[in-house]
Structure 1
Amino acid sequence: MTRAVVTRSPQPPQLTVKQAATQAARLRQASPTLAAAYAQALSRWLDDPVLRLAGRPIITECYRSPARQDELYAQGRTKPGPIVTYKRGGESRHNLGPPTPALDVGFLLADGSVLWSGLLLSKFARLMKAADARVVWGGDWASFKDRPHFEVLKAAEPAGKGGDERG
């Protein structure tokens, strides 16, 4: 007697109800162009059997209040931790809106931790930029590499200039 072996396709880390609600709320904070590009890139990521095993892309920040921006600016200066931004409150693209033209991405792992892998972010960046040519990735900037950062250029900015956001 031969038994049929049923193999299930490995699944990416699943979001809890609370995490799913947080992701939906953060996506609603994004500008429509950025939200659409993220949704398309996420769908393509999750449809790829290899990429989805690496982790699940999640929005770690979208709109950021000027007070939150100042907290991040203090990191690595007057508070412990590495420097993660060069922008003070009110100077960041994250502080515009909502809707905001900027969001940050990390990867949810099966154990519940979040990873900011440069390699995974570069793969996700290709999907984001393919989804909409107006999307700029912070990993492409010449100076401070802000790999978790994605933004949509202002209509008046020429392509390639970017915001060189740095946070």
Structure 2
Amino acid sequence: MALGSNQDGPCGSPLRTLMAVRPLLEGLLGLWAQSVEEISPGDTAPNGVSSPLTFSWSPLQQTAPVGGPIDQPSYLNAVLLVKGLELCPESATALRLLDALQQLEQSFGRNRSQEERWGPRPLDLDLLFWGDWRLDHPRLTLPHPRLHLRSFVMEPLLAAMQASTPWLS
């Protein structure tokens, strides 16, 4: 998952926004995982107990905007890797997560109906991929179709992978 901010929001600066959203995002993902497990009770760890989610965060990275208005401020970006939920991905589950993420964006002041494409925003949350699963839905494409073209995602993604994968460190 990618996070970005380049506009003040209810918490203040992009830095304060990303620091404030971190525990909320982890909590949201935990609640989402519980709701998925209630729907799919057969998807548990081998011992019969669902495995807890683990989170690997990249460091924050400041980058120039890609696209959008020329005069917009730099973005502050990060990537979050989530591991631990063993289930077969399906579009309904992914779309419920997308809805929850967009509600979180809205609570931090994002208004998709009034913003310019690739313009400034107080919070941007993007699902990047879900293992090797592919989804082509009008509301969500996984993996993210421009993931590999965006250094502001790839560099923090590598840092998060290094933090969560010992042999990469």
TM score, norm. by length of structure 2: 0.31
Higher relative contact order, chain-length normalized (CA < 8 Å, sep 6+): 2
Larger radius of gyration: 1
